[in-house]
Structure 1
Amino acid sequence: MATANDTRPASISLETLDAALASGVISLDQRERLLAMEAGPESVATAGGDEENLRLIGGGNDLFVTVGTVLLTAGFYFVLNTMLVGRPLWIAAALAAFAWLVAEVVTRQHRMKLSSTVLALVFAASGTVLLVLLVQAILDIQLPDSLWELIAMRGPVSQAGYAVLGGIILAAILYFWRFRVPILAGVVAIAATLLAFFQTALFLYDGVTQGTVAPPSLQDGPELVRAALYMPLVCGLIIFATAVALDLHDRERRTIWSDCAFWLHVVSAPMLVHPLFIMATGQDIAFGRIEPGADATVMLAILIIGFVYVALAIDRRSLLVPTLAYFGTLGIYYLVNSAANTTGVPPFALILLVVGALVILFGAGWQRIRRLIIGSTLPTSVLSKLPPFRI
């Protein structure tokens, strides 16, 4: 019990914050700011810091608890495998319930960031397996021996797809509503993307069976692959736009919405990079070698510059890392291949040199480069809406 001489600050419980949020005394943003302030100064770093404020780990104790969480989960899984032999549905249900119950202590009460992320992934994985097995049992779906038999099961397959993917999204949203774990934003984005792919496949199937869409031949394979790239590109643009909106909503990167934006950028980057690379260069990695000519090389360079500029503008390294990794392994390979042939240096070594140099350059001088490029090319009215420059 605190006395009059006790100078320690009073701590507000999560129940009090939730009650204040429900009654309209504080907003959701204010609740997250209060939680960040209670977590420590590193969680409320303002524009004065040089690092991208991403709260993935809460310190040594968080890492310690994460190790315990992994060991406890693994032990519980092996116990379930021993006690519930041949009952995968019950094992998945027990793991999902276990992750939720442990999160009530680790996440809800103590706000352990890294261990909370691990528990959220355990819940998402076990929940997915549970939904698949449950839907399979309810609809009595037997896995076919061939693709054609699977396609012929249009009715049950469509119901199962909607139930599983929709269930994953609802479960992730419910878990996020309870525990506020940012990585679930990425889980929702992936499930929604798969749902869009699934709906597109059903649409094409119905078109072929009804005669409104001609069935593709083997020769149409490359064109079909290129056409299919529009779906991940559109989904990637939607996810990226959502992430940018969250970033602009939280310019100072103080709340959980900024962390959600990080995971959305991680999910959207591959969806944007791969389709744009093939569309811009005309290359096809599925049906042929990637050997950019002069025009493709120029388009490749423009793409790299464009992604770097956007990443600098929104102050997100998470968008740049998949870009450099992809272009480093595919695009830069052929850009430096001629040099490798003349010098005798292995192309893989040149790839490592180029990508490594870019990573170190942007890692060490990110804010200086950002201030120099973005600060001098965008008007003040736009800069005022972007994340502020850090010293």
Structure 2
Amino acid sequence: MIDDETLARAVRQGILEPGQRDALIALARGGAGSGPLPEDESPSLSVDDQMRLVGGGNDIFVTVGIVLLFSGALFALRAVFPPDSLAIAPVLALASWIVAEIVTRQKRMRLSSTLLALAFSGAVLSMLVTFIARSFELPQTLNAFSLLALRAQAWPIGLTLGGGMIAAAALYFLRFKVPVLAAVAAIAATGLAFLGAVVLYHDRLVSGATAAPAPEQLAEVLSNALAVPLVCGLAIFAVAVMLDLRDRERQTVWSDCAFWLHVVSAPLLVHPLFILATGQEVLSGRIEPGVTAGVLLALMMVMFVLVALAIDRRSLLAPTLAYFGSVGIYYLVNGAANSTGIPPFALILIVVGAVVILFGAGWQRIRRLIIRPILPTSVLNRLPPIKA
């Protein structure tokens, strides 16, 4: 019997259409001549589920071998070379590339390929950090005052680190097409954006264009700085949606890249919007539980749920639920928990767990019941298809 992986490869190579693949699976599960399966028994997986992170038992087996191989290699290299040697990181980066030529290029193992790409990125990051430490005169102790002395070297250091990571991720992606590298590049680009904002604010302070904040104004300054992650999150989210719209059936590597971009964009969007909506104090993290904060928090959760359902991305919804559950719900239910004697953490687990199970078990039905009636047909035709 042909397995699901072979059928998926046939779709990617254009041998089968997605509908033909589903029909073959339905025929195999229902038996010859039994006709189409009922809706509850038919393969109604969301297209988002086609972004599988594990290719099978052999993939897990090889992943364990990669962990053992590179762990042993790291200890061996540290025993041979000094800890600050420039040779360790390049050797690990080269080793991950060589192993990827077999595991990724030939075998296309998903989990192993993701781990190798992250190992390569980590080795490049270590190499760049070591190079920066040797090439630039960094202060022995890093604090707010010592960092101000690095203004002249800020952009060379930032471009070396962030630009080097983006270039390495692009080079590795061109060779192996591993989707997780989209997240690596997005994080590096976000770091460069943060650096640009800090340098701009520093220059305005030095030139006198902006007055130095008083101690009681630090919270306001930090709140204004939330515009940086918010803008970066919106930009990354926009790129992810663009990739999704180009591949509605989620059959190419670009939709897998969009998956990781949604994972990166979610916390960048959720944290600033949460603080702006609830009025959380940036320095202390306190939130005054009240009707306004509760209503705004509920509206934000509804907004993110609707967006995730529309674009068919649970990867956008999962970090959102985790953040609201760990931060927002804690503060807003803390008062109720104290009056009932139930620990706040227990209420958080109950609420978030129930929501996750609900959406996980009936994702496509929820999409069909909510998204189809509220969006026009012209918009639905551009979004990932809703399973009947």
Give the TM-score normalised by the residue count of structure 2: 0.87
Within the candidate set 266, 269, 293, 2:266 is matched to 269
Task: Return the letter of the residue paired with 1:381.
Answer: S
Specify the alignment match of 1:180 in structure 2: 177
- Whether 1:249 aligns to 2:249 is no
Specify the alignment match of 1:154 in structure 2: 151
2:183/2:264 contact within 8 Å kept: yes
1:136/1:160 contact within 8 Å kept: no
Specify the alignment match of 2:327 in structure 1: 330
Within the candidate set 283, 296, 315, 2:280 is matched to 283
* Residue 208 of structure 1, CA deviation: 1.3
Within the candidate set 97, 107, 115, 1:100 is matched to 97
Q: Give distance in 2, aligned partners of 1:385 and 1:198.
A: 36
When residues 107 and 352 of structure 1 are mapped into structure 2, their CA distance, relative to the original with a 3 A threshold, is: same
Within the candidate set 194, 202, 205, 1:197 is matched to 194
- Where does 1:1-391 land on structure 2 (aligned, <5 Å)? 33-34=12-13, 49-51=44-46, 52-144=49-141, 146-391=143-388
Task: Return the letter of the residue paired with 2:330.
Answer: Y
SS at match of 2:106: coil
Calculate the aligned-residue CA RMSD, in Å: 2.4
1:106/1:112 contact within 8 Å kept: yes
Task: Return the letter of the residue paired with 1:128.
Answer: L
1:45/1:254 contact within 8 Å kept: no
Which ranges in structure 2 are unaligned for 5 or more consecutive residues?
A: 3-8, 27-41
SS at match of 1:196: helix
Moved over 4 A (4+): 44-48
Q: Give distance in 1, aligned partners of 2:320 and 2:142.
A: 38
Q: Give distance in 2, aligned partners of 1:132 and 1:214.
A: 34
* Residue 348 of structure 1, CA deviation: 1.5
Task: Return the letter of the residue paired with 2:287.
Answer: I
When residues 35 and 82 of structure 1 are mapped into structure 2, their CA distance, relative to the original with a 3 A threshold, is: farther
1:165/1:191 contact within 8 Å kept: yes
1:329/1:351 contact within 8 Å kept: yes
Task: Return the letter of the residue paired with 2:105.
Answer: R
Task: Return the letter of the residue paired with 1:151.
Answer: L
1:136/1:142 contact within 8 Å kept: no
Q: Give distance in 2, aligned partners of 1:139 and 1:288.
A: 36
- Of 282-291 and 294-303, the range deviating more from structure 2: 282-291
Specify the alignment match of 2:35 in structure 1: none
1:367/1:389 contact within 8 Å kept: yes
Q: CA deviation digits over 1:253-300, x for unaligned, max 9?
A: 111111111100000000111100111121224235112321121111
* Residue 231 of structure 1, CA deviation: 0.3
Task: Return the letter of the residue paired with 1:34.
Answer: Q
Task: Return the letter of the residue paired with 1:72.
Answer: L
SS at match of 1:284: coil
2:278/2:287 contact within 8 Å kept: no
Q: CA deviation digits over 1:14-34, x for unaligned, max 9?
A: xxxxxxxxxxxxxxxx99922
When residues 281 and 86 of structure 1 are mapped into structure 2, their CA distance, relative to the original with a 3 A threshold, is: closer
When residues 146 and 276 of structure 1 are mapped into structure 2, their CA distance, relative to the original with a 3 A threshold, is: closer
Q: CA deviation digits over 1:232-270, x for unaligned, max 9?
A: 000000001111111111110111111111100000000
SS at match of 1:108: coil
Q: Give distance in 1, aligned partners of 2:247 and 2:118.
A: 25
Give the TM-score normalised by the residue count of structure 1: 0.86
When residues 50 and 150 of structure 1 are mapped into structure 2, their CA distance, relative to the original with a 3 A threshold, is: same
1:69/1:115 contact within 8 Å kept: yes
2:223/2:282 contact within 8 Å kept: no
1:32/1:256 contact within 8 Å kept: no
* Residue 342 of structure 1, CA deviation: 3.5
Q: Give distance in 1, aligned partners of 2:58 and 2:260.
A: 24
When residues 229 and 35 of structure 1 are mapped into structure 2, their CA distance, relative to the original with a 3 A threshold, is: farther
SS at match of 1:191: helix
SS at match of 1:336: helix
* Residue 344 of structure 1, CA deviation: 2.1
SS at match of 2:283: coil
